[in-house]
Structure 1
Amino acid sequence: MDEPSENKAPTLWQMLHSVGAAALGVQSGKNRARDFTHGKPSHFILLGILFTVIFGLTLYGIVNLVLYFAGV
C-alpha cells in the first residue's frame, strides 16, 4: 500500500500510524527503524503529546457520560 520510501521522511499519516502503534505497543521493527532513521523527533513528540491529550479527554468524556447515565 505504501510506496517504498527508503530515503524519505515519513508522511503525516505514517507518523500518526507509528504513534498509535507505539501507544498500543505493537510497532513493527521496520516502521520503528524508518522513524528513527528518517523521522524528526520533534514531530513524534508533538504527535505523542497530542495523542495523549485526545486520549485523556476521550476517557474523561466517557467517564462523565457513564456517571451521567448512572445518575451519580
Structure 2
Amino acid sequence: MSNNNEQKDPDQRPRFIQVVHSVLAAIFGVQSGANRERDFQKGKAGDYIGVYVVVVVAIVIGMFIVVNMVLSAAQGG
C-alpha cells in the first residue's frame, strides 16, 4: 500500500497514529522528508509536543524499571 492513501483530504490534519509515528521516527532520526513536510504544514505543534512528552516519560520509566531489575538480579535478590 502507498502512503498516498493515508489521507484522502490533503488539507486534513494528521491523525493521532500519524503523529505518534512521526514522533517515534523523529526520536530515532529516521523521519522521511514527506512526513516531516506534512507535519510542519498541517500538524499542530501542541499535538506533537504532547505525544513527545508522553513517549519520553515512558522511555525513562521503562529504563528505570529495566535498570532496577538488572541491579536486583546482579545482587542475587
**Structure 1 gaps, min length 5:** none
What is the TM-score with the length of structure 1 in the denominator?
0.92
Number of the residue aligned with 1:37 = 41
Q: Deviations over 1:4-48 (max 9, x none)?
A: 422211000000000000000000000000000110000000111
The alignment of Structure 1 onto Structure 2 pairs a total of residues equal to 72
Q: Secondary structure at the match of 1:19?
A: helix
RMSD: 1.4
* Corresponding residue to 2:71 among 54, 67, 70: 67
| Paired position in structure 1 for 2:24 | 20
Identity of aligned residues (%): 38
The separation in 2 between residues aligned to 1:28 and 1:4, in whole angstroms, is: 15
TM-score (norm 2): 0.87
Partner of residue 14, structure 2: 10
Query: Greater relative contact order: 1 or 2 (C-alpha under 8 angstroms, separation 6 or more)?
Result: 1
In structure 2, list runs of 5 or more residues that go unmatched: none
Larger Rg: 2
Which AA in structure 2 matches 1:52? V
